[in-house]
Amino acid sequence: QKEVEQNSGPLSVPEGAIASLNCTYSDRGSQSFFWYRQYSGKSPELIMSIYSNGDKEDGRFTAQLNKASQYVSLLIRDSQPSDSATYLCAVTGQGGSEKLVFGKGTKLTVNP
């Protein structure tokens, strides 16, 4: 059973702080990793993708991948109240599978 685990939170940080979101996955053959942001009542929005070990930065967001530890994280620097949402970690299977397996999401609240 392929699983993606996230701390459900809620995670609460003050405005301007760094928010750290974590995700572990069970399928060692997973090849692609994504972070989505979902506002209440809306569909998920892709914010980061990462495919190889190490860090990937895009603006205030940094994704980190460690395949040996089966761990992927998302850092949000200078957190803003508009970052308040549920963050979903998603992982594809091995063998080039396009299916995404989602974690249950971490709810982030950024307090002004």
| Site for another protein, rule CB under 8 A | 34, 36, 41-46, 49, 88, 90, 98-105
Question: Least distance from C-beta 17 to another protein, angstroms?
Answer: 25
Nearer to another protein, 88 or 108 (CB): 88
Nearer to another protein, 33 or 76 (CB): 33
Cβ contacts of 110 within 8 Å, gap of 6 or more: 12, 13, 14, 15, 17, 19, 79, 80, 81, 82, 83, 84
Nearer to another protein, 43 or 112 (CB): 43
The whole-angstrom separation of Cα 75 and Cα 59 is 11
